[in-house]
Amino acid sequence: MAQGETQAAVEISGALEGTGLNAAGDLVDIERMQNDLSSSNYEFSTYAGRRYACAELGHYFMPNDAPEIHRLNEQHWVLTATKDGKIHNAPIRAGTAGLRILDIGCGSGIWCIQMAEDYPEAMLIVGMDVSPIQPKTKPANVEWIIHDMENDWPYPEEYFDFIHLSLVHGCVANWDTMMGKIVRHLAPGGYVEHQEYSLCRLYQLSPSSNEPRRYPENVDINTIPPIFRWGRLMEQAGIKRGRPLQLGPKLVSFQRNAGLENVVEAIYPMQVGTWSSDPKLRQIGARNLMQVLQGMEGFTTVTFTKVLGWSLEDTNSFLEDAKKDLRDDSQRKMIDLHVVYGQKSNLKKDNRGGKYASSSEEALKYKFTSQNMHFATGFLIGGLVVWMLTMSMRKR
């Protein structure tokens, strides 16, 4: 087992201690799955002992090696458990034949595979990602496309009935452009769902009142504990890269500005750590702590050294302080998960490719236009008759 995986296993075991969970087998399974990935014909970059999809380190800051695949699957479990077992909130009707579904930034592909299990009648479920880490063994109605989401998509407009995005923070430079592309490829009446958690803005619960305690926007980050400083530094790096990391509070405006209707937001407070006395929350918090600890090494190293200009030694030293701080359950840490879905108007595009108009609106428009034309014609004919009579009377 590689050094990164060994460290991940140690942190996972520590996080799950006392919960009755065992993560050792999970890492073995992930290692075995590595032989069944679709990435065998691709070349990757290696930096500080981790593997990355892009040759230009910093463009996409997440690794794509075995520990990261494991973390993505753990992350999926945490998100699903936080939402009481739901893998989407949008009101997609089960049993609807012919559904076309797109997952942008699909990662390990686990969401697509579960959607195929839940919606076997779906015609097509596409997982799009820049990193080819999805398994070759998959349901028949699932396909993977290795593609940069910021480039043009190889699908027709109005093709998908449901478009899903999960934790793509730091991956998109222009969200107006991205949302425009999403809406163009969404069928009338279809749904977009986007979920992001605010990892850069962890907060604490007051021990006495359970009220959230957040550091103010203008806080001097050198005066706050390491894990909270880490979040602010990651946020600054995202802004410097031109690909923001703090997206959760913006999701509603993204969708409304793109013209989506019936926009609904749900915010789920997510526990980080094993401090809860509730067995379910303790289990979710333990696995959430596990996946955050495992992820911090992979995406902090590239971000701090390549974007913020830190040395690798300083980065590693600070990272250990931040991870130690994160493990401190006395701080009762939380992350907010924002889940927002919206619907494209159930309208069709007119022949001029301009404004969308429903069939009833078109009929009403035609009715008024026809009435106006009849009125105008009658007015002209009447005016002509009056003019002819006037001229006739003058000649007499």
Indicate the range of 4-13, 144-153, 334-343 predicted with least confidence. 4-13
Same-domain status, 335 and 378: no
Q: 3-state class of 142 per DSSP?
A: strand
CA distance 293 to 233: 17
Same-domain status, 384 and 249: no
Same-domain status, 299 and 389: no
Neighbours of 239 (CB within 10 A): 12
Q: What percent of the chain has pLDDT over 70?
A: 76
Q: What are phi and psi of 129, to 5 degrees?
A: -160, 155
In a domain, 274, yes or no: yes
Q: Which residue has the higher pLDDT, 238 or 379?
A: 238
375 close to 288: Cβ distance less than 8 angstroms: no
In a domain, 352, yes or no: no
Check pLDDT > 60 for residue 349: no
44 close to 51: Cβ distance less than 8 angstroms: yes
The pLDDT value recorded for residue 388 is 52
Report the CATH number that the domain containing residue 83 is assigned in CATH: 3.40.50.150
The pLDDT value recorded for residue 15 is 43
In a domain, 95, yes or no: yes
Q: Which residue has the higher pLDDT, 7 or 54?
A: 54
Range of the domain at 388: 359-395
Same-domain status, 298 and 375: no
pLDDT band at 39 (very low <50, low <70, confident <90, very high): low
The pLDDT value recorded for residue 19 is 38
Q: Chain-wide mean pLDDT for the chain?
A: 83
Measured on CA atoms in the order 100, 103, 104, 107, is the torsion positive or negative?
A: negative
Distance set, CA 81 to CA 74, 90, 105, 370 (Å): 11, 17, 20, 57
The total domain count for the chain is: 2
The pLDDT value recorded for residue 392 is 54
In a domain, 351, yes or no: no
In a domain, 354, yes or no: no
Same-domain status, 81 and 224: yes
pLDDT band at 93 (very low <50, low <70, confident <90, very high): confident
The pLDDT value recorded for residue 208 is 84
Check pLDDT > 80 for residue 369: no
CA distance 355 to 59: 36
The pLDDT value recorded for residue 38 is 53
Same-domain status, 287 and 377: no
Q: 240-250 burial, b for 16+ CB within 10 Å, e for fewer?
A: ebebbbbbbeb
Same-domain status, 95 and 232: yes
Q: What is the pLDDT of residues 55-92, one digit of tens each?
A: 565 567 899 999 999 999 999 999 999 999 999 999 99
Q: What is the pLDDT of residues 283-338, one digit of tens each?
A: 999 999 999 999 998 899 999 999 999 999 999 999 999 999 999 999 999 999 99
Residue type, 29: D
Check pLDDT > 50 for residue 365: no
Same-domain status, 369 and 325: no
Check pLDDT > 80 for residue 42: no
Q: Kindly provide the residue ranges of all beta strands, DSSP E only, lying in the chain, ordered along the sequence.
A: 45-47, 50-52, 100-104, 124-129, 142-146, 160-166, 186-197, 203-205, 212-213, 261-272, 333-343, 348-349, 356-357
Q: 3-state class of 265 per DSSP?
A: strand
In a domain, 123, yes or no: yes
71 close to 295: Cβ distance less than 8 angstroms: yes
Same-domain status, 323 and 365: no
In a domain, 247, yes or no: yes
In a domain, 353, yes or no: no
Same-domain status, 242 and 388: no
Same-domain status, 87 and 161: yes
Same-domain status, 54 and 30: yes
